Each structure stands twice: as structure tokens, then as C-alpha cells.
Amino acid sequence: MSSDMDSYSLTEKSDNRWYSGIAIKVAEFVYWRDPKKSGVVFVAGLAILLSLTVFSIISVFAYSSLAALSLTLSFRIYKNILQAVQKTNEGHPFKEYLEVEITPSSERIHEIVDSFLSHFNRTLNKLRSVFLVEDIIDSLKFVVLFWCLTYIGAWFNGLTLIILSYLALFSLPKVYEMNKTQVDQYLSLVSTQITDITSV
């Protein structure tokens, strides 16, 4: 029993390390800590999402890859010509990136797989509980949720919701950070009014 608890604790700690690392990287982008990097990520992601509204995912992948390869190939040829003219030997222009280790370790892969399976199993158990009405209140909450989703689905398609969520991800956190005091005041006021209405 003790060994099971220890293994669960280790898995939970590795999950926390994995998600905390991802959360830090995402926060750096959405809070625009480095405007240049955030701008590149935002524009690239938005361009891909908007392209998916017009072209198939295969076409978007093919055109994006073709554009990226054309840029890197042109830059490599340009640098080679420049080195030949100036008679310098600066080496490969992408040497810095080619030397970066991108192959994940087996421990890292195990962490990712264990984390995914842990969340997948919890989600599966929750859905089983909801659809088999283990708790009537929980099932009724999901009935309301799915009913609301039918209206959302009638107004927007899935890709539109993804684009809106993407725009919100790169705008709302920064707006909240810059106007935290005012936003908290409004949220507190709304929360108080909702409490007053529901308590009647």
C-alpha cells in the first residue's frame, strides 16, 4: 500500500513539474514578456487558423512548410554567396539551431505519457459517472451545459470558436494584468449582484 502511494506521489509530482514548465512558457507568450517572440507566435498561429477557414489542413500544412523551406533555403544560399564574395568562413548560418538538442529523453516521454493517461482516465471516469447518472445533480449540470452548447454550436462553428479563443488567449491576460484593480472591482460588483439575485 505504501509503495502504491509513493508511486502515485511521484507521478503527481512529475505531472506538476511538466505542467508548471508548460504553464511558464505559455505565460511568457500570452503576457507578452518578449513582444517580438509573442508577436511571431501570435501572427503565425493566427495565420494558420485563418488559413484553415479557406483551405484544407493538408493544404495549409503543405503551403506553410513550402514557405518556411523557401525562406530557409534562400537564406542559406544568400549566406553562402556572401561568404564566397567576402571570402569568409562563418560556417552554416543555422549552426546554432542545428546543435540544439530536440530529442526528448525516455524519462520525459514517460512523464508525458503518464500525465496524458492520468488525465484521460479521470475524464473517462467522469463521463461514465455523468452518463450513467451516478450523481443526479452532476448529470443535470451537464444537461444544462450541453443544452447551452447546442446554441453556441448554432451561432459558431468549431474553428471560429478556436480563433476567438486564440485571440482571447493573447489579449485578455495582458488586459487584465494592466487593469487588474478596475477589473477586480467590476467582477466583485457582478459577483455581489449575482449572489443577491440567487439568494432571493
What DSSP string describes 43-62? HHHHHHHHHHTTS-HHHHHH
Residues 50 and 7 occupy one common structural domain: no
In this prediction, residue 120 has a pLDDT band, given cuts at 50, 70 and 90, of very high
Can you give the pLDDT at residue 9? 47
Residues 83 and 17 occupy one common structural domain: no
Residues 45 and 11 occupy one common structural domain: no
Number of domains within the chain: 2
Using the predicted structure, report yes or no on whether residue 39 has a pLDDT greater than 50. Answer: yes
Can you give the pLDDT at residue 26? 81
pLDDT in tens, 128-142: 999 998 889 989 989
Can you give the pLDDT at residue 10? 44
Residues 1 and 80 occupy one common structural domain: no
Tell me, yes or no, whether 178 lies in a domain. no
Residues 1 and 83 occupy one common structural domain: no
Tell me, yes or no, whether 66 lies in a domain. yes
- List Cα–Cα distances, 73 to 43, 78, 100, 110, in angstroms: 22, 9, 19, 36
Tell me, yes or no, whether 191 lies in a domain. no
Q: Indicate if the alpha-carbon torsion angle 160, 166, 169, 170 is positive or negative.
A: negative
Tell me, yes or no, whether 56 lies in a domain. yes
Query: DSSP states of 62-114 as a string?
Result: HHHHHHHHHHHHHHHHHHHHHHHHHT-----TTHHHHTS--PPPHHHHHHHHH
Mean pLDDT throughout 148-158? 84
Using the predicted structure, report yes or no on whether residue 69 has a pLDDT greater than 60. Answer: yes
Phi, psi of 134, rounded to the nearest 5 degrees: -70, -35
Residues 20 and 44 occupy one common structural domain: no
Residue with cell 471560429: 160
Residues 159 and 141 occupy one common structural domain: yes
Tell me, yes or no, whether 41 lies in a domain. yes
What residue numbers bound the domain in which 73 lies?
Answer: 35-88+132-170
Tell me, yes or no, whether 25 lies in a domain. yes
Which amino acid makes up residue 43?
A: V
Mean pLDDT throughout 13-24? 58
